[in-house]
Amino acid sequence: MVRFALARFGAAVFVLVSISVLVFLIFFATPGVDPAARIAGRNADQATLAQVQAEFGLDQPLPVRYALMMKHLFVDRDLTSFVNRGVLVIPQIVHAVPVTLSLVLGAAVLWMVVGVAMGTLAAAWRGRAADPLIVLVGVVGVSIPVYWLGEVVNLVTQSRLHDSVFSWVPPLGYVPLTQNPAQWALRLLFPWLTLAVLYAGIYARVLRSEMMGALDEDYVRTARAKGVSERRILIKHALRCSLIPIVSLFGLDFGALVGGSALLTEVVFGLPGVGRLTYTALQNLDLPVILGTVLYAAFFVVLSNALVDLVYAALDPRVRHV
């Protein structure tokens, strides 16, 4: 088990290093991306351009540039943006995390509650009219593009019906929980709902099929034969067993979302979280920030993957030979 954990850790480090190298190479392979001229300013003199290149180490060979950047990011922790000069990358990410966490946590509560309820009900009502209906609702949730739904929600709540039904909806943006809890919740309400629609659909579908499988298992038949009530079977046996894959799926999704995968939702609703930070950095081709956010995101994905793997390995020894 310890060897497995160590191997998993080694692999995780390898993945993070590869990603940083990859981002770095993609960046410098992009034509016109050299930030020196943008930093130097419009119509800068060639000598000024050369000065800036030297100052930012852009005249160094690629491996040296990479090493310098990693040193600034991890050793000195003073990596600064190429676009907002003098602005440190790490504090920017640290400031963005609470926003993303607020969005993802709220949405996660919603989608878990709704998704589990829908999945369980669909399984319970299998063969009745309600089952395909719930399935359909779930599929629709999965099939609507998130950003489109967000834009339509904005259109309705901020403009079309803003004078009547939705006059209580505050403008887009984020208010910290510590500053005004009511505004925090109110402003996040529609982002939560929008993000939850997608995931509730996914979870309902997965849970339904897991429970269908579980209901066919021998132990359920045994329980039934013993005269245990259907409701008890459903909750105590089928749901409990089916929740294990759901929880692992949740681990993966949660990790990815906290890492910035809620990018589209954050962009559409103007939430200054990690996803939007990454998006702006990509738009500005601000390499230090891109590197910082992508590594941060990858860290969470790798972490959640490793945790899920470890849990599985603890439960099922066959998985251990990686």
Partner 1 sequence: MTATADRKASEDSPAAPTPIPLAAVVTSPGPWGTALRQIRRNRSAMASLVVFFLILVVCLLAPFYASSIAHTDPFASNVAGTTVIGGQTVPVLAPSTTGLGLGVTPIGPTWDLTHYFLGSDGQGRDVMARLLYGGRNSLLIGFSAALLCCLLAGIIGVLAGYFGGVVDGVLSRLLDVVWAFPVYLLAISLSVVLLTSGVRIGPISIGAGSLWLPVLIIGIVYVPYVARPIRGQVMALKEKEFVAAAIGVGSSDLRIMRRDVVPNVAPTVVVFLPLMTALSMLTESALSFLSVGVQPPQASWGTIINDGLDLLYTRPAVTLAPGIAIALTAVVLNLFGDGVREALDPRARLRGAG
Partner 2 sequence: MSSSRVRAGAAVGAAIALTLSACTSSPSPTATGTAGSGAADAAAPATFQTQHKGGDLKLLAKAAGGTLDPQVNYTLQYWQLYQAMYDGLLAFKKVNGQQSFTVVPDLAQALPTVSNGGKTYSFTLRKGVKFSNGQEVTVTDVAASFKRIFTVSSPTAGSFYSGIVGAAECVKTPATCDLSKGVVVDKGAGTVVINLIAPDPELKYKLSVPHASILPANSPPKDAGSTPIPTTGPYMIASYDPNTALTLVRNPSFTEWSHDAQPQGYSDTITESFGLTVEAAVTAVENGQADWVFDPPPADRLQEIGTKYANQAHINTLTAMWYLPMNHNLAPFDNVKARQAVNWAVDRNAVVKLYGGAKLAQPVCTFLPPGFPGHADDCQYTAGGGTTWTAPDLAKAKQLVQESGTAGMEVGIVTTDDEVNKSIGQYLQSLFTQLGWKATLKPISANIQFTYIQNTKNKVQISLSQWYQDYPAASDFLNVLTSCASFTPGSDSSINISGLCDKAHDATMQQALVTVRTDESAANAQWAAVDKQTMSDAVVAPLFTPKLIDFVSSRVGNYQFSKQFYMQVSQLWTK
Which residues are at the interface with partner 1 (CB under 8 A)?
A: 11, 14-16, 18-19, 22-23, 26-27, 29-32, 132, 135-136, 139-140, 142-148, 151-152, 155, 159, 195, 198-199, 201-202, 205-206, 209-210, 212-213, 245, 249, 252-253, 256-257, 259-265, 267, 278-279, 282, 285, 290, 293-294, 297-298, 301-302, 305, 318-319, 322
The DSSP secondary-structure symbol of 162 reads: T
The secondary structure of 257-271, three-state, reads HHHHHCHHHHHHCCC
Specify burial of residue 145 (Cβ count, 10 A radius: 0-12, 13-18, 19+). Answer: exposed
How many residues lie near partner 2 (CB under 8 A)?
46
Angle between helices 287-315 and 240-256 in degrees, nearest 10: 160
Chain positions 27 to 56 lying near partner 2, rule: CB under 8 A, are 30-34, 36-38, 40-49, 51-52, 55
Q: How far is the CB of 250 from partner 1 (least distance, A)?
A: 11
> 55-94 mask for partner 2 (x: CB under 8 A)?
x------------------------xx-xxxxx----x--
263 binds, among partner 2, partner 1, none (CB under 5 to 8 A by kind): partner 1
Tell me which stretch binds partner 2 (CB under 8 A): 18-26, 153-161, 248-256, 302-310: 153-161
Concatenating the DSSP letter of every residue in 40-103 gives H-TT--HHHHHHHHHHTTTTS-HHHHHHHHHIIIIIS---B-SSSTT-BHHHHHHHHHHHHHHH
How far apart CA 29 and CA 32 sit, in angstroms, is 9
CA–centroid distance for 265 within its chain: 10
Nearer to partner 1, 53 or 278 (CB): 278
User: Among residues 287, 293, 298, 283, which one has the least CA distance to residue 29?
Assistant: 287
Q: How far is the CB of 164 from partner 2 (least distance, A)?
A: 15
Contact residues toward partner 2 (CB under 8 A) are: 30-34, 36-38, 40-49, 51-52, 55, 80-81, 83-87, 92, 95-96, 154, 158-159, 171-174, 270, 272, 276-277, 280, 283-285
